[in-house]
Amino acid sequence: MRAETPLVLAQAGADATVSTGEAVAFWVLGPIAVAGALCMIFARNAVHSALWLVMTMLSLGMLYILQQAPFLGFTQIIVYTGAIMMLFLFVLMMVGRESSDSVLEVLRGQRLMAAVLGIGIAGVLAGALTRALADVPPAPAMNPWTPEGGGAGGLARVIFQDYLFPFELTSALLITAAVGAMVLAFTDRHSKQGRRSQRELVAARFRGEYERPSPKPGPGVYATSNSVATPALLPDGSIAPESLSDLIESTPTAQLQAHRKQLESRAAGPDTHALAGPEDGAGDGEAAGGTATATEDAVTATEDKA
Amino acid sequence: MTPFLAQAATEPINRAELLADDPLWLILLKAVVVMLIGPIFTVALIVGERKIVGRMQNRPGPNRVGPFGLLQSLADAIKLPFKEQVIPDTADRKIYFLAPVIAVVPALIGLAAIPFGGEVTIFGEPTVLQLIELPVSVLLVLAGASIGVYGIVLGGWASGSPYPLLGGLRSAAQVISYEIAMGLSIIGVVLYSQSMATSGIVAAQADGGWYFYLLLPSFVIYMISMVGETNRAPFDLPEAESELVGGFHTEYSSMKFAMFFLAEYSNMVIVSAFATTLFLGGGMFPFFGADAAINQGWWPVLWFLAKMCVVLFGFIWLRGTLPRFRYDQFMKLGWKVLVPAALVWLLLIATVRALRNAEGVSTGQILIIGGVAIVVVVLLMLLIPEKEIPDDEAAVTTTGGGHPVPPLDLKVPETTPRQKALEAKRRSEEKRQAELSPSTAGSPGAPGAGSKEGESHGDL
């Protein structure tokens, strides 16, 4: 990116007939592109970094379009901004929004090496740029409507006739990389014969290969609450532990743990929704009916176990 | 090269010259009109969709506001901005605010490249009914679509809760996969018309026939991927109500929610207008030549909008007819059906094009070669052995209806691998907590007094 902006500047300087509109567009888009690149480096959050990079790419694409290369500009926007950065974002979102860069140095001497190499590259770039700034023949204005002027037809002729072999080599390289990534990432999740069909799964469930033949109970939905964090109740009023999801990450973990502990501590006693009296404590002497239902519950529970 | 192709190539340049002559006020006028098409169609589409889906489900749909309920979306449009904005605590505020804007702006830009009609005179100024004419205006529409998705993806991410995040992730994956199929189907049109300018494609269709029957596979693939690209039923997985509450816009309310709505419907309008341009002959009325009076002046705008509305009705029809896809089925359709089909079809078009461009190959020869190729392929397919269905000996007993029933001596295992793993996880966590706070690690509150229990029952 750093290489791009000064080059355009060089052309604008050498070409005396640069139009006002072009100059204005450059001085608006150029700083935006540079600012985007800098912010990309300094942003803490990885997603923010990606977005700054998107901004840089977009302004570069617009610069291309302004320089009479609309095909290149739109390809830049579609391919880089639309597809590649979207993939980046996809991965970043999978990683999680809380993950930020660690400042710990994992490899010894890494920072020193990075600094040296970075300064070296900056020097090389600066050298090349000063030469470019010193002597640049102004590019003739091209007509993008003709194949010779950077239209798709002209590009296709160059790629598929003059440089067909390098192009095919590159595509072979890319395909190798893609196939390699697929092979590395591929895991057969279930068994040797691959995914089971729905029918086979049902059979397997009844054969006892899974925890239980039926689906797990859903969360409890009552008049007082319809949260997924509310456990479902079994017929005897006790809590169905399977109804609590292990996967809800949005619930603050500590809160969830505390809630679960609270529920566990309560699991022995009957619930208000279960129309059963409390077994012990204050409710002991209340009514004989309450204890009767409690014992009934106990009986059904033991029957269930047997 | 055939003469109509040469004409198709020169046509956009004339239009571009005409457009370059436009005075500033005319450009502004056109820009405002093009920008208004999206919102106006959104308002009309929402009522139309609710009415049509309602009729499809044997109910009247909205019928309270205005005659036949036609002003319902106006009432909604007034209501929405005045509703309270609820912003979640966990939201990434800047991006949360930015996302609806990113979704809307490209949706309003996309229509700029669509040629609504031919040459007309506006207040004494000859011009073309199109805002900009680029040699690659097809790419402009595609680029707008690919930027617009950022709004959805970022909105899902910035909300800071799991359902929107899942919606955003789905949207990202969906767009990446369906854009490929869409681009490949468009390449077919570009190859056939030898032009990447939208008006060039329309001109080529006026002379050579519409592409929806000449390039039928491309048309079908475009139609399917267009629904996927706009997140509409049956491909509305990013906002699947039954799975993700509202998907990416779960946490959005008030005006920002309205902007997502606007973006969705404007995108529908854009892809429909694009389909009309690419496959349905643009503003041309069929059966008459391009020089007929019915295809001159302002008439093409009417035909264009009529064709667009037919495509939009297709969207609504799909929504009223088909259930939502499961996510893996949807991905399978994209990657294993649409993309390979589009590639094979593209290869075919390119071959025919190359043969046609080559001298001394007649249509008859092409047909003979194609016929022989088809026969060979069919014969080869006969060689593929039939898939054998394995006869499972250890099958579970089934009832008369073929439904498996549990055996009478069914043994449910005491522990399963998953239970074991969960138990181990719980134990290790307890251990860690005990290590972290050895002083506070006491007995977890024993089942205590009735009063405490009564209190804690309240939050169930």
Q: How many CA atoms are closer than 13 Å to the CA of B305, on its beta-carbon side?
A: 9
Q: Could you say which of B16, B160, B456 has the minimum Cβ distance to residue A97?
A: B160
User: Which residue ranges make up each domain of chain B?
Assistant: 10-342
Question: pLDDT-derived band of residue A176, with 50, 70 and 90 as boundaries?
Answer: very high
| Closest by Cβ to A208, choosing from B139, B404, B410 | B410
What is the predicted pLDDT for the residue at A120?
94
- Residue predicted with more confidence, A247 or B206: B206
* Binary contact (A265, B146; C-beta < 8 A): no
Query: Could you give the percent of chain A with pLDDT greater than 90?
Result: 12
pLDDT band at A104 (very low <50, low <70, confident <90, very high): low
Over the stretch B402-426, which tens digit does the pLDDT of each residue have?
Answer: 677 777 777 777 777 778 888 888 8
pTM, rounded to two decimals: 0.69
Which A positions 277-306 lie with beta carbon below 8 A of chain B? 278, 280-283
HSE-CB at B443 with a 13 A cutoff on CA atoms is: 5
Q: Check whether A191 has a pLDDT greater than 60.
A: no
What is the average per-residue pLDDT within A67-78?
85
Half-sphere exposure of B195 (CA within 13 A, CB side): 27
Is A77 in Cβ contact with B143 (below 8 Å)? Answer: yes
Under a CB-based contact definition with an 8 Å cutoff, are residues A196 and A209 in contact? no
Q: What is the ipTM of this complex?
A: 0.71
List CB contacts (< 8 A) between B395 and chain A: 203
The least confident of A74-78, A108-112, A217-221, B6-10 is B6-10
Give A125→chain B minimum CA distance, Å: 31
Find the mean pLDDT for residues B432-443: 66
More confident residue, A292 or B272: B272
Residue that has been written with the tokens 């000996």 in this structure: B393
**CB nearest to A83's CB, from B176, B396, B410:** B176
Segment B226-246, tens digit of pLDDT: 888 888 878 887 777 777 777
- Highest-pLDDT range among B5-9, B371-375, B455-459: B371-375
Specify which residues A100 forms β-bridges with: A45
Question: Does A265 reach chain B within 8 Å, measured CB to CB?
Answer: yes
B449 chain-A contacts, CB cut-off 8 A: 281-282
Of A83, A89, A206, the CB nearest to B406: A206
Tokens of B150: 């950022």
Query: Per-residue DSSP letters for A122-157?
Result: HHHHHHHHHHHHHS-PPPPP--TTSGGGT-HHHHHH
| Out of A89, A144, A261, closest to residue B153 by CB | A89
The mean predicted confidence, pLDDT, of chain A is: 72
- Residue B349: predicted pLDDT: 85
Pairwise CB contact (< 8 Å): A266 & B447: yes
Whether A76 and A57 have beta carbons less than 8 Å apart is answered as yes
- The predicted-structure confidence for B67-80, as pLDDT tens digits, reads as follows 888 888 888 888 88
| Structure token digits, residue B190 | 């570009």
Q: Are B172 and B153 in contact (CB under 8 A)?
A: yes
CB within 8 Å: A203 and B404: yes
Q: Is the Cβ pair B459, A144 closer than 8 Å?
A: no
Q: Among residues 184-203 of chain A, which lie with CB inside 8 Å of chain B?
A: 202-203
Q: Which of residues 65-104 of A touch B (CB under 8 A)?
A: 70-71, 74-75, 77-78, 81-83, 86-87, 89-90, 93-94, 97
Q: Which two tokens stand for residue A221?
A: 């939905």
The whole-angstrom separation of Cα B253 and Cα B204 is 46
pLDDT of residue B8: 47
Q: What is the pLDDT of residues A135-147, one digit of tens each?
A: 767 666 777 777 6
Predicted confidence band of residue A198 (pLDDT cuts 50, 70, 90): confident
Per-residue pLDDT at B315 exceeds 80: yes
Q: Which of residues 22-61 of A touch B (CB under 8 A)?
A: 45, 47-48, 51, 54, 58
User: How many CA atoms does the CB half-sphere of B426 hold within 13 Å?
Assistant: 10
Report the pLDDT value the prediction gives residue A123, as an integer from 0 to 100.
93
**Least CB–CB distance from B396: residue in A207, A210, A273:** A207
Within an 8 Å CB–CB cutoff, is residue A254 touching chain B? no
Alpha helices in A190-279 (DSSP H): 198-207, 253-266
